[in-house]
Structure 1
Amino acid sequence: MNSILEQQRHLHEEIERIENAIVDELLEKPKAHKEKIIQEHRVNNYLNLIQERSKLLKEYYDDRDGSRKKEINSISGAQEFSEFYQRLKSIKDHHRRNPNQIVEPMELEFKIDNVEREEAIIDNMFTGEEAWKYFDLHIYHEQYINLKNVENINYLNYLDKYDKFETIPMATKMTQNYSEYINGLKNYFEEYFNKAQPLYNIEELQKIIENEFKEAWEEGTLPGWPKEDKMEDDENDLFCVACKKQFQNKTVYEYHLNGKKHKKAASKMMNAGVMEVGNTQLENMKKEAQNKLLERRKPIALTESYIRGYSETLAGIREDTKANVERKQVLNEKEFDEDIEDIEIVESEEEEDDKIYNPLKLPIGFDGKPIPFWLYKLHGLGEKYPCEICGNYIYMGRKAFDRHFQEWRHAHGMRCLGIPNTRHFHEITLIEDAYTLWEKLKSKNNSQQFKSDTMEEYEDSEGNVFNKKTYQDLKKQGLL
């Protein structure tokens, strides 16, 4: 059916059915984080379909070739009945040529047939390190530490400092490697929005960032980017009159003075009889060169502002990523595998289980239901045990408190204090008490003094416990 009015009607109907599909999708509340992302991608695909249909519909309404107006005139003029019967005849001929044709209900057009395939497609968007909810900035960390004149920091510190651009020297910022680094980092965050939060209005966020950048750039308050009248005096001294060029680095400026290009420009200037340049003319030349320099700096500063704005918006994911990196750093291979299995079990339980009525907020048992209240009281799960070494983390119940001394959080806290996590410090939860006991152990005689080789315990993948010296010897011999 080639009728333009029929095609318009069909597009309106499709848009309405897509909107109904979006409403039906949003009425289902996701139970897990992965399920929420899949739902957002599905809704985002529906919105893209609406945009495609609306664009085509607008072209029909614009009627640039006049075909729609011509059709309206043909069905509303003196020959309207003949036009009606002619179209009716074409419809009958179509069904006569295609008898018993199967028609799929319109409601099934937007129904997802293969949910597992849809999940696999979205899963392929994320790396293993991202795991649907974290950042994976290892590539950009390597690029960062390979920049000139920047501090060589580990990945965990990089997650804290990757948007602190004011600490990077200006000479480094004007290099090609730095430009590639920040553009890659900016593109990563934009792609992360598309795959982790596809319904987020990133265009609106970009407009806000651009407006704030424009205001800060004009006022000269952007961190790490001085205004023209606030430039360092050293930069004003690195101006080449002959080449009319402003330099940022003294070494590069001195190298330029010995170059052929500068000597040729200086010789041309002398041959032209220009021996001296007036103060006003020199200031104008400097100002022009500085304006050109600022124009070169502006795109780099804008890219930094984008990254800073994206990081503020994704601050929660950034903190989760840092916590995940800290947790993995204190786990051995066996514990890491078990941790992954526990996460998968929890996520599968979140997806499969319905909401459980638990007004007392009792712990969940092995059957996925709250444990009995008498068992909760028997094990003392209502008692709180804070630990200052773990960052004032509170453990519920004596059993969890006793177990935490060998877990990653307490081990990380002891490592930050510079104290080995041995049996001597069991039951020690205050930082001051830990330091006091550590000094007391070190002050004893050599026979009683703490020796990490014999007293620090190591555990292999099978659960066997050795002291440090025995463990290292067995590992060197390949017996572990």
Structure 2
Amino acid sequence: MNNLIERQRGLHEEIERLEQAIVDQFMQDPKTHRDRLRNEHVVDKFLTRISDKSIDLNNLYEDKDGLRQSEIETLSASTEFSEFYERLRVIKDHHRKYPNEPVELPEMEFIHMNQIHGNGEDGEEDELEKKFSGEESYGRYLDMNSLHGKYINLKDVKKLEYLQYLSDFDDFANAYPKSMKTSPEYKEYLNDLSEYLYSFFRRAKPLFDLAELEEKVRQELDEKWEKGQLVGWEEIGNEMLDPELYCQACQKQFTKKTVYDAHLTGKKHRKNAEKLNNEQSTTKGDSENNTKQDRRKELAWKELLITKYAEGLSDVREETKANVERKQALTDKERTLEQDLEEIELAEQDSDDDEEDRIYNPLKLPLGWDGKPIPYWLYKLHGLGVEYPCEICGNYVYMGRKAFDKHFQEWRHAHGMRCLGIPNTRHFHEITKIDDAFSLYGKLKKENAQEDFVPDSMEEYEDDEGNVFNRKTYEDLRRQGII
């Protein structure tokens, strides 16, 4: 049925199924970096789906169009029974039209998804490989060779080697001259650098909350920008703090009041001021000044964001530097050999994973606590290959003496004895045939019948000294005056 209340219930159920699927994914024990990364990407997909479903659910609860409230009023009105039977008719018509439609439990979808992602089936492994370059090695290292080339092509920058660049690419106060920060090439370089680090974060650490990081960076930027404490942009902050020293006509900032006053008497300033009065209004000049400040603040935002990205990837950064330094010491032959060894290790790891998934058990031995077959000597020691059938249990066969002895007190044997009308007492232990059970039961009843109660011999009496006698002996001794 396609109604809002049912859709809400379905969304709640699907969110709960996704949460359970995430728990099942975390319960797995990844043995390698690649398995851990694959699990994190699967959990990230589940979280994204939960977010989408939560938005849909929230929109239904807000009920901006009033359809949900209208449906509730319809169900609670005096015609609720007619509405109920109308919906029942729709359900019956659907099943009458599709009588053999298979029904799959909702949880089977997420169980199947976990199995697919957990085993790396259906191209999941290829999808993970496509996310990273060979240099990145499944998110272990950074691959900034192309960014290093763009850095070298910037004007007035110090030409750094790749290893040194990995250490100083986020040192915006010293590695990048202030004279080139207004160039379009520098802006393009900053965009490419921030986009790469963001992309690497999403691929190598998919569960990292980048939105929260960016929000903290934005708050820190606003606070330091207003106070003029942002590293590399202190002068810009001073401009904002002291706008009286900024000449709108010449588009120039001065640091001292005396220099600014001397500038106002210059021929160049008078010419620019006259031109400003004739062609532009003061409002337009303020707008251009604000636009210039916004452009500078955007560059500062990119720089601060890249710095925070680099701090979050500090461990990967150190691993990358160590790997680059190690590779620089290798010859071409050694590099080729290392690549071949890495491919062999990946192939062996895949084969090991397949062997772990397939349990080799040709003797059909029982599984132990670790999910693997028990040793054969233990199987023989406990006699688990010996069959013990029980006719009272419906010819059920028990494997091993221990299971056979234990079953006499279990529900299956007790139910069989109850059906025969025989009490399941200790006398019937080891009895597995129905005829033997009836014979023993008859014999026990005869023995109990012979043991009728005789008061003279079975009643017990006690004298003052605590001696115990049967009734006949007690009365004889009393008559004789002995007791």
State the TM bucket, normalised to the shorter chain.
Answer: 0.5 to 0.7
Q: Confirm or deny that 1:226 pairs with 2:231.
A: no
1:165 match? 172
Q: Confirm or deny that 1:96 pairs with 2:96.
A: yes
Amino acid at match of 2:133: T
Q: Confirm or deny that 1:145 pairs with 2:152.
A: yes
- Find the aligned partners of 2:336 and 2:218 in 1 and give their Cα distance: 44
**Cα 1:51–1:291, aligned 2, differ >3 Å: closer, same or farther?**
closer
Match for residue 271 of structure 2 among 231, 251, 266: 266
1:244 match? 250
1:118 match? 124
Q: What's the % identity of the aligned pairs?
A: 40
CA contact (8 A) 1:246 1:289 kept: no
The normalised TM-score by structure 1 is 0.61
Q: Secondary structure at the match of 1:171?
A: helix
How far did residue 343 of structure 1 move?
Answer: 3.9
How far did residue 14 of structure 1 move?
Answer: 0.8
How far did residue 85 of structure 1 move?
Answer: 1.6
- Find the aligned partners of 2:206 and 2:10 in 1 and give their Cα distance: 28
The normalised TM-score by structure 2 is 0.61
Amino acid at match of 1:197: K
**Cα 1:97–1:310, aligned 2, differ >3 Å: closer, same or farther?**
same
- Identify unmatched segments of 5+ residues in structure 1: 249-261, 274-285, 355-480
CA displacement, residues 168-205 of structure 1 (integer Å, 9 cap, x when unaligned): 22110110000000111011111111111111001111
CA contact (8 A) 1:148 1:172 kept: yes
CA contact (8 A) 2:225 2:237 kept: no
- Find the aligned partners of 2:39 and 2:133 in 1 and give their Cα distance: 19
How far did residue 161 of structure 1 move?
Answer: 1.0
- Find the aligned partners of 1:186 and 1:139 in 2 and give their Cα distance: 13
How far did residue 103 of structure 1 move?
Answer: 2.0
Amino acid at match of 1:150: V
Q: Confirm or deny that 1:128 pairs with 2:127.
A: no
CA contact (8 A) 1:246 1:293 kept: no
- Find the aligned partners of 1:44 and 1:271 in 2 and give their Cα distance: 56
How far did residue 321 of structure 1 move?
Answer: 0.8
CA displacement, residues 21-46 of structure 1 (integer Å, 9 cap, x when unaligned): 01000111211111111111100111
Q: Secondary structure at the match of 1:165?
A: coil
Amino acid at match of 1:108: M
CA contact (8 A) 1:225 1:301 kept: yes
Q: Please show how residues 317-396 of structure 1 align to structure 2 within 5 Å.
A: 317-344=316-343, 352=352
1:72 match? 72
- Find the aligned partners of 1:222 and 1:105 in 2 and give their Cα distance: 57
Q: Secondary structure at the match of 1:78?
A: coil
CA contact (8 A) 2:229 2:237 kept: no
- Find the aligned partners of 1:270 and 1:74 in 2 and give their Cα distance: 73
Q: Secondary structure at the match of 2:135?
A: coil
CA displacement, residues 239-268 of structure 1 (integer Å, 9 cap, x when unaligned): 877x431289xxxxxxxxxxxxx9999388
Amino acid at match of 2:22: I
1:47 match? 47
How far did residue 96 of structure 1 move?
Answer: 0.7
2:192 match? 184
How far did residue 79 of structure 1 move?
Answer: 1.6
CA contact (8 A) 1:18 1:46 kept: yes
- Find the aligned partners of 2:179 and 2:269 in 1 and give their Cα distance: 26
Amino acid at match of 1:210: R
Question: CA RMSD of the aligned region, Å?
Answer: 3.3
Amino acid at match of 1:165: F
How far did residue 318 of structure 1 move?
Answer: 0.5
How far did residue 91 of structure 1 move?
Answer: 0.8
How far did residue 226 of structure 1 move?
Answer: 2.1
- Find the aligned partners of 1:270 and 1:72 in 2 and give their Cα distance: 70
**Cα 1:211–1:162, aligned 2, differ >3 Å: closer, same or farther?**
same
CA displacement, residues 249-292 of structure 1 (integer Å, 9 cap, x when unaligned): xxxxxxxxxxxxx999938828989xxxxxxxxxxxx9999876
Amino acid at match of 1:307: I
- Identify unmatched segments of 5+ residues in structure 2: 255-266, 279-284, 357-483
- Find the aligned partners of 1:204 and 1:297 in 2 and give their Cα distance: 23
Q: Confirm or deny that 1:156 pairs with 2:156.
A: no
CA contact (8 A) 2:217 2:305 kept: yes
Count the aligned residue pairs. Answer: 324
1:87 match? 87
Q: Secondary structure at the match of 2:131?
A: coil
- Find the aligned partners of 1:33 and 1:10 in 2 and give their Cα distance: 36
**Cα 1:263–1:307, aligned 2, differ >3 Å: closer, same or farther?**
same
How far did residue 340 of structure 1 move?
Answer: 2.9
- Find the aligned partners of 1:303 and 1:180 in 2 and give their Cα distance: 11
CA displacement, residues 95-128 of structure 1 (integer Å, 9 cap, x when unaligned): 1110111222322212234724112112211112
How far did residue 166 of structure 1 move?
Answer: 1.0
